Structure 1
Amino acid sequence: MPLQDRLKMRHLRTLVAIAEHGSLVRAAKALSISQPAVTKTLAELEDIAGHRLFERSPKGVTLTGAGQILVRHTGSGLRAIHDGLSSLSAEEEGEAPALVIGALPNVGATVLAPALVRFAALSPRARVTVRTGSNAQLIAALKQGFLDMVMGRLAEPSDMQGLTFEHLYTEPLLLVVRPGHALSLRQNIDPTLLDGYRLILPDAGTRIREAADRFFMAVGTGLPLKVIEPKSGSYPVIAS
């Protein structure tokens, strides 16, 4: 029997669940099966694929290169099957198909919210699910077929390969302080004054953080030393 003929839907669902949750335990919980069953199914799939699909560590599991390739095709394939079944059900019941959107937290609360109101007016029977996360997480989920679209920030060109995107708007980088803060009393702020404050900056490695770092380098102050980094990557520069 050819190896591909041994492939079952349970293998694919298990693969996607492990990739999404990064843990055999959490994948088993999501699939409502035991961890030994997940381990056995993964072993079968790795035998069928002829490649190791995950690297194990005390912190969980991460995809190998072969695993990334297989998940990319599996996720989009499962999504296509799900959409096909949903379309059949929707056609029978007169409903619009489901739409799964990924959005950065600040985008979901600002740009996406009024857009969904308008969409609901045009398609009142449509079912919409919104998932939030970091830009990297959302783009990875989009490539793996877990999301239909993402409203986020442009990533590095290498990360955008294979994706179709549209530039919607440009957001400014702002310095935000509480009412009555010493800096709020100044009409013009000398960037060197920021050295005396602890700054909340976007998470390192994000495009908006890179823009903030370029600003500090351009004004000659160097990168700030007193920094708090929230993990959402969606905050302006805040002085405290």
Structure 2
Amino acid sequence: MQLELRHLRTLCAIADAGSLCRAAAAVGVSQPALTAQLRRIEAALGGEVFRRSRMGIAPTPFGMFVISRTRSVLLAVDELLTGTDNRMAASSVRIGGYATPVLTGLVQRLFDLPGTHITVHTEYSPRLLLDLLVSHGFDAATLVDYPGHELPVPADVEMRVVASEPVSVALPAGHRLAALAEVPLVSLAEEDWLITPPDGAGWPGLFLHRMPGGGLRTPGPAHHD
């Protein structure tokens, strides 16, 4: 089987829905038909893209790579189909970014420039954002990486550190550590954690690696900013 654009859009629909049932409704097919199509796509790619669990369906590590490249391809195709007038306009600025206050502040400053047309595209994967920047999908992008897991910087990309943000943990109001300004990681090693999904740039692997002892027994770490 040869992959087509519709197959790539199917993969993105499944990733966005987090459920084969919801994805099937979104693309207008039955769940068995979508499941069969996914199996054919995975066979063509030579690896498992999604893994099912009691929480739904989520990309495998290989799937994270596939989805990030798929989104890059589809964005390029969509730009080609919609024309290049905005891209060629001298007053047009295309910004990509990981949704953080840094991106919000940058966009706000650009909106203050008179006569400038701004488009903003957000993605969860910093690697995908970097790929899109390199392929000229953006004029600039705000990215996220982690100590010891810095993003590789291509020779034709100039990168500057804008801010360093700590990892934050959300605790119930009555938790024994909730009143502390800083929470020692070791104090939470035996707690149950809820985790944001892997972003392909080192999270949550970096956190789990540094989690003392019992933290590795749970699916992952806390909410982070």
Asked if these proteins are the same fold (TM beyond 0.5), I'd say yes
TM-superposed CA distance for 1:24, in Å, is 2.2
Partner residue in 2 for 1:231:
223
Partner residue in 2 for 1:224:
none
For 1:19 and 1:88, locate their aligned partners in 2 and report how far apart those are by CA, in whole Å.
Answer: 28
Contact kept, 8 Å, 1:23 with 1:60, in 2: the verdict is: yes
Partner residue in 2 for 1:15:
11
Partner residue in 2 for 1:43:
39
After superposition, the Cα gap between the structure-2 partners of 1:129 and 1:53, relative to the gap in structure 1 and judged at 3 Å, is same
TM-superposed CA distance for 1:11, in Å, is 0.9
Bigger CA radius of gyration: 1
Contact kept, 8 Å, 1:83 with 1:97, in 2: the verdict is: no
After superposition, the Cα gap between the structure-2 partners of 1:88 and 1:107, relative to the gap in structure 1 and judged at 3 Å, is closer
TM-superposed CA distance for 1:48, in Å, is 1.9
TM-superposed CA distance for 1:44, in Å, is 1.7
Partner residue in 2 for 1:199:
181
Is 1:57 aligned to 2:53, yes or no? yes
TM-superposed CA distance for 1:154, in Å, is 4.0
For 1:200 and 1:116, locate their aligned partners in 2 and report how far apart those are by CA, in whole Å.
Answer: 36
After superposition, the Cα gap between the structure-2 partners of 1:40 and 1:23, relative to the gap in structure 1 and judged at 3 Å, is same
Query: What is the one-letter code of the residue matched to 2:66?
Result: L
Query: What is the one-letter code of the residue matched to 1:113?
Result: Q
For 1:41 and 1:105, locate their aligned partners in 2 and report how far apart those are by CA, in whole Å.
Answer: 36
| Higher mean C-alpha deviation, range 51-60 or range 69-78 | 69-78
For 1:17 and 1:140, locate their aligned partners in 2 and report how far apart those are by CA, in whole Å.
Answer: 20
Structure 1 residue runs of 5 or longer lacking an equivalent are 174-194, 211-228, 234-240
Taking only aligned residues, the RMSD between alpha carbons, in angstroms, comes to 4.4
TM-superposed CA distance for 1:42, in Å, is 0.8
2:152 equivalent among 156, 161, 185: 161
- Where 1:56 maps in the other structure, the secondary structure is strand
Partner residue in 1 for 2:76:
80
| Higher mean C-alpha deviation, range 20-29 or range 49-58 | 20-29
After superposition, the Cα gap between the structure-2 partners of 1:102 and 1:31, relative to the gap in structure 1 and judged at 3 Å, is farther
1:115 equivalent among 110, 114, 119: 110
- Where 2:112 maps in the other structure, the secondary structure is helix
| Higher mean C-alpha deviation, range 80-89 or range 163-172 | 163-172
Listed one character per residue, the Cα deviations across residues 162-183 of structure 1 (whole Å, up to 9, x for unaligned) are 664521534698xxxxxxxxxx
TM-superposed CA distance for 1:107, in Å, is 2.0
